[in-house]
Amino acid sequence: MKKIYLLLCLTGLALSSFAQKTDGRTTLNFNQNWNFKLGDVNDGQNISLDDSKWRKLNLPHDWSIEGEFSKDNPATPEGGALPGGIGWYRKTFTVPASSKGKQVYIAFDGVYQKSTVWVNGHELGFRPNGYISFRYDMTPYLNFGGKNTIAVKADNSVQPNSRWYSGSGIYRNVWLVTTNKIAINQWGTYVTTTNVSAKSATVNLTIDVKRPEGDHSPVTLISNLMDASGKIVASQTTKSVVSASAQKFMVANPTLWSVEKPYLYKVATKIVSSNVVIDQYTTPLGIRYFNFDADKGFSLNGKPMKILGVCDHHDLGALGAAVNYRALQRQLEILKEMGCNGIRTSHNPPTPELLDLCDKMGFIVMDEAFDCWEKGKVKYDYHLYFKDWAKRDLEDQILRDRNHPSVMIWSIGNEIPQQGDTSALRIAPQLAAIVHGLDNTRPITTANDRPDTRNQIIKSGAIDLIGYNYHEFDYAKFHDRYPGKKFIATETTSGLETRGFYQMPSDSIRKWPTKDGKGMNEDHTVSAYDNVAPPWGSTHEQTWKVMKKYDFLSGMFIWTGFDYLGEPTPYSWPSRSSYFGIVDLAGFPKDVYYMYQSEWTNKTVLHIFPHWNWEPGKTVDIWAYYNNADEVELYLNGKSVGVKKKAGDDLHVMWRLKYEPGTLKAISRKNGKVVLTREIKTAGAPAKIELTTDRKTIKADGSDLSFITARVLDKDGNVVPDADNTINFTINGQAVITATDNGDPVSHESFQTHNRKAFHGLALAIVQSKQQAGSAVLTATSAGLPTVNLQVTIVK
């Protein structure tokens, strides 16, 4: 769902496939009508090169997701087992003659990786970091009123260069920005709030004006601070500005930004010269204050609370790394429903749209920069470029992201190999100085997997929050180790589950992978009872029990919110995606999702599992997550099998029964009154497919998505838990099938195929709108089952 936003401060206001023109500034979404060729091209930047037979496509684009899974791909299963390579993108475009005398920039939100950009044969620059945003000034090389050719080479051929799936190509949005010669600089505003209370707040705005060298003509800056309805609540005018200016606004009775009510203001700034508006620039604003306290933990707007966060990688499952606004929004909606209020951008700068959504939806963000410094983790990762590029990349990240109210922590590194190296005493302060030189309103952390007193990053004194990765058994003694210091659990848990698979006994904790592989499952499944974790991690319950116990533990970021491509711990090939997620790759919650929902929200929860299809006489463990009740009573075929109550720090209750077909019914009660009732029935043979969608109406913008779930049901409407029927999807109308999935970490079916096996009864079709209004009908067929249709409406 593309909307328009002013690129230069990358605030993620709304994106659009059309040009947005404000006074003196035009921002054009530049994603349409590119030519692409996979493989290297000699002189691919040459204007005279014939690219007419190249593939036509729109950005964002990830060519790796289109490839075939193979253990022999250089990325390895750790990198998603998909191909990398070199790709070239070219586009011919026209800049109107009326733009002559203006500045014209091309801006990329991210290209993976080692990108080189040319316009009309002139090299504009090279950026090795695949996650950073950058722009180039094309003005000296353009043919105003005539044709121009831009060429981009993305080189992801030398692998492995990442420990997870990276994707390849121009996988984030591209923008063409035209300004007058005097204009607000790239990422040229900085907004902060001080003296914030429910009664008043001071808003401070600094503005950096870019102008030609030698031009000292004064201009006037007029800024209007507006509330969410667009009403002006404060204004400031500064005259005779040459390069930079600071403005201050007093806001009475402000509506404070919070995770429950993420209220957004904005500041619209105009540059006026000789009574003519020559530039206009919008800065997002959330008025809030927060604090990390060594003893009391985290508070937002004076309210004590824990950051209940997750870590997530940047891929969008079946869509790969190509950013899509709606896919990001759906992920955040699913997490919000669970009670999550925090996101860690593991382990790199995020796409700007993610921060925009976190601003709007109420998430606290740990914005992370690096997975390594001068020493690498895999042979060809960022350590090869750190010395030359870290300062520039970090500066660009802070400048780009510092106006987002959702960002409350900067992380300058994850599990840095130099934690035990005295070189950290040099590097950590250098990085911290860069961050605090550009933003002194947020604390800095590093995510430390060796958080003891030998850690040289912590010893350097450069970080404001001591970040622990795992080590939940050390939390209670944190202040013995670091008296007076502030704590954040930068990464926790790493619980492992396969959605829909259950292995008894459920109360036996397994540490996988084992050294010799013994005891693990040949079919690469992992029990969903929350009883499997890697040697360095814990189950979800183990860490949460500790985290909720102590006030000084300010918050946590669970590894991970969603399954992601690559890093298929505890296995390797043929597994090709992770088992860590609370939600699977297709967006279907695993059972532990409801444990968090019962603990992290006020929603009334009663969730029982597993399914009720087993061999006769088998001993089966039944778990229940519940809240807002005193007890749960379980019935099997109408007969009570006992009342269970949580005791001490229990987070679930359990019954151990001999299986017999029929119905399990759970009833939760409070003070003797029924709160909720849940039933699970023995399912029969597959009899039909049910299609449901997250949204029946989507926008005709060529980007919006409808996520359609296919459930394989028996004749009575029960999901068949072992159904693996192949479902064939077809579509007619104003939409296309852009991907399919089922959440299976071992599936080697291409995400591009329109045929998908159900996995434990579920499959997913992702439908993308075209650019014409109308409707689209998705049809699902499967051998022996009735055909079923679902209509989606596409509107302008």
Proportion of the chain in helix, strand, coil states, percent, rounded to 5: 15, 40, 45
In whole angstroms, what is the distance from residue 567 CA to residue 570 CA?
9
In one letter, which amino acid is 415?
A: E
Side chain identity at residue 16, one-letter code: S
The structure tokens 């993108």 sit at 89
Question: Omega into 60 within 30° of 0, i.e. cis?
Answer: yes
- Gap between the Cα atoms of 11 and 294, Å rounded: 32
Q: Calculate helix-pair angle for 325-338, 592-600, nearest 10 degrees.
A: 70
Question: Pairing mode, if any, of strands 219-226 and 265-273?
Answer: antiparallel
DSSP assignment letter at 766: E
Query: Which among 428, 511, 513, 439 has a CA at the least distance from the CA of 467?
Result: 428
**368 in catalytic set:** no
**Which amino acid is residue 90, in one-letter code?**
R
Q: Which DSSP helix (H) or strand (E) runs through 481?
A: helix 478-481
Query: Which of 391, 414, 520 shows the shortest CA–CA distance to 463?
Result: 414
Only one residue has tokens 């014209």, namely 104
221/269 Cα distance (integer angstroms): 7
Q: Name the catalytic one among 78, 368, 472, 491.
A: 491
If you count them, how many residues does the chain have? 796
Q: Encoding tokens for residue 15?
A: 């994106």
With both helix axes pointing from N to C terminus, report the angle between 352-361 and 325-338 in degrees, rounded to the nearest 10. 40
Q: Which entry of 78, 368, 374, 415 is annotated as an active-site residue?
A: 415
CA distance linking residue 550 with residue 544, whole number of Å: 11
Residues in a beta bridge with 375: none
**Cis bond upstream, residue 128 (ω within 30):** no
Relative to beta strand 307-312, strand 553-559 is parallel
What span, in angstroms and rounded, lies between the C-alpha atoms of 394 and 398? Answer: 6
Cross-strand partners of 365: 343, 407
Cα–Cα nearest to 790, from 676, 715, 721, 690: 690
CB 564 within 8 A of CB 578: yes
Q: Are 587 and 317 spatial neighbours (Cβ–Cβ below 8 Å)?
A: yes
- In the three-class reduction of DSSP (H, G, I as helix; E, B as strand; rest coil), residue 222 is classed as strand
The set of residues, in sequence order, having a beta carbon less than 8 Å from that of 480 and lying 6+ positions away, is none
Distance CA 255, CA 570 (A): 47
C-alpha span between 62 and 319 (Å, rounded): 8
Beta bridge partners of 707: 766
In DSSP notation, 505-569 reads: -TTS-EESS-TT-TTS-TT----SSS-EE-TT---HHHHHHHHTT-TTEEEEEEE-SB--BS--T
Rounded distance between C-alpha atoms, residue 216 and residue 76, angstroms: 56
314: cis peptide before it, omega within 30°?
A: no
Active site residue 491: yes
| CA distance linking residue 661 with residue 649, whole number of Å | 33
Dig out the tokens for 654 from the structure: 């359990």
Residue located via tokens 């029946």: 696
Kindly give, in sequence order, each residue whose CB lies less than 8 Å from that of residue 788, ignoring residues fewer than 6 positions away.
688, 689, 690, 691, 779, 780
Helices (H) and strands (E) in the chain, counts: 8, 47
Q: Which residues are catalytic?
A: 415, 491
